[in-house]
Amino acid sequence: MIFLLSWLLLAASAHAATLSVQSPRFTISAADAKQLRSDTLSLTKKPEPLTLSPTDTLKLTFQITTDGEDGKGVQPHQTFLRFYDAVSGEEGIQPVRVTPGGKAKFELNMARPPASIPPTSSAPLEVSLILGSFVHDPAKYDLFDLYIPASQPAPTHADAAMFSPRPAIQHTFRPAQSLPPKAVSALFAGAVLAPWAVLLGLWGKVGISVPHLFAPSIVPFTALLGAFEALLFWYWVDLKLGQVLLYGAVLALPTVFAGKHALSTTGKWRAGRK
C-alpha cells in the first residue's frame, strides 16, 4: 500500500503540470478595421517578421492550459509578453490579462502604444511569452519578431556626454598678416636711396676738397661719431634700451673731449687762415 502511494506521489511530483499555450493567433488590422495579416502562431518556429505602421493594431489571442490540448484552462500567476531589442539591449515587459478560464487577449495599438514598449533601434523587437505559476511548471515561448515605427530616442542625462570621447576642437587661427610683394618694397627702397646716387654723381663732377680728413685732431671725434652710429644700428638689431643707454653714456665721455678738441682745432685753422 505504502509502496503504491509512494509511486503515486512520485508520479504526481514528476508531472507538476506544465503550462502550455493553445491556439495562439495574431491579427494585424489597419485603422479602418481592415485585416492586413492574420495567422496562427507555431510555438516552435517563428513566422515572418510582423510589421506595424503607425496606425495599425496587433491583436494576439491564445489560451493557457495545463498539460496539452485536453488540459484545463488556467489563469497563471505570470503571463508576460517580453519585447526585447537585441541590438540596444532594451527590454519591455507587458503583462497580459487572462480570464480565469485561461483565455488571453492582447492588443497593441500603435496610435497609443503602452509605456512598456522599449525605444526602437534598427533591429526588430523579439517578442516572447513568459508563463509562470506557483503550482505549475513554468514555460517560455518565442513568438515572433516585430518591426514597429521608429520612436523618439530615449532621453539622455545631461552628463552622459562626458562618459564617452567628445569631438575634437581645433582652434581657427587668424591668417598670418599678408605683406606686399618684395619687388614693390625693393623698388621703393631704391626710390628712397636714389638721392644718394644724385649726390655722389654731382660730387664726382664738382669734386670735394677734404684736406683735413685724416688729421689727428679730428679723427678721434669722427671715429667716435661713427661708433655712435654703429651703437644705434646695434640697438636696432639686438640691444635693449638699458644697454644702449649704458654704452652710449660710456661713449659720450670721450666724445665730449674729442669734440671740444676737434672744434678748437677747426677754430684755430680758421683763425690761422684769417
CA 93/CA 118 separation, integer angstroms: 9
Q: Which residues contact 98 (CB under 8 A, 6 or more apart)?
A: 64, 75, 76, 79, 104
Q: Is 164 helix (H, G, I), strand (E, B) or coil?
A: coil
Establish if 170 lies at the interface with other proteins (CB under 8 A).
yes
The single residue among 17, 36, 43, 130 that binds other proteins, judged by CB under 8 A, is: 130
Ramachandran area for residue 67 (φ above 0: left; ψ -120 to 50: alpha; else beta): left
Instruction: Name the helix (H) or strand (E) containing 80.
Output: strand 78-85
Rule CB under 8 A: which of 66-85 touch other proteins? 74-80, 82, 84
Rule CB under 8 A: which of 205-224 touch other proteins? 208-215, 218, 221-222
Cα–Cα–Cα angle for 135, 137, 138, rounded to 5 degrees: 115
CB nearer to other proteins: give 122 or 164: 164
Rule CB under 8 A: which of 227-266 touch other proteins? 229, 232-233, 262, 266
- Where does this chain touch other proteins (CB under 8 A) — which range of 23-31, 52-60, 144-152, 174-182? 174-182
CA 110/CA 113 separation, integer angstroms: 5
Rule CB under 8 A: which of 95-124 touch other proteins? 95-98, 115-116
- Where does this chain touch other proteins (CB under 8 A) — which range of 30-38, 49-57, 175-183, 249-257? 175-183
CB nearer to other proteins: give 2 or 193: 193
CA 205/CA 268 separation, integer angstroms: 31
Instruction: Name the helix (H) or strand (E) containing 28.
Output: strand 19-29
CB nearer to other proteins: give 78 or 121: 78
Cα–Cα–Cα angle for 194, 221, 260, rounded to 5 degrees: 125
C-alpha cell recorded at residue 271: 683763425
The single residue among 34, 45, 112, 273 that binds other proteins, judged by CB under 8 A, is: 273
Establish if 145 lies at the interface with other proteins (CB under 8 A).
no
CB nearer to other proteins: give 39 or 91: 91
The DSSP call for residue 74 is: -
Count of residues interacting with other proteins (CB under 8 A): 80
- Where does this chain touch other proteins (CB under 8 A) — which range of 3-11, 32-40, 46-54, 92-100? 92-100
CB nearer to other proteins: give 38 or 264: 264
Establish if 152 lies at the interface with other proteins (CB under 8 A).
no
Rule CB under 8 A: which of 2-31 touch other proteins? none
Q: Residue 181's CB: how many other CB atoms inside 10 A?
A: 8
| Nearest-approach distance from CB 37 to other proteins, in angstroms | 27
| Nearest-approach distance from CB 71 to other proteins, in angstroms | 15
CA 45/CA 144 separation, integer angstroms: 9
233 and 191 Cβ atoms separated by less than 8 Å: no
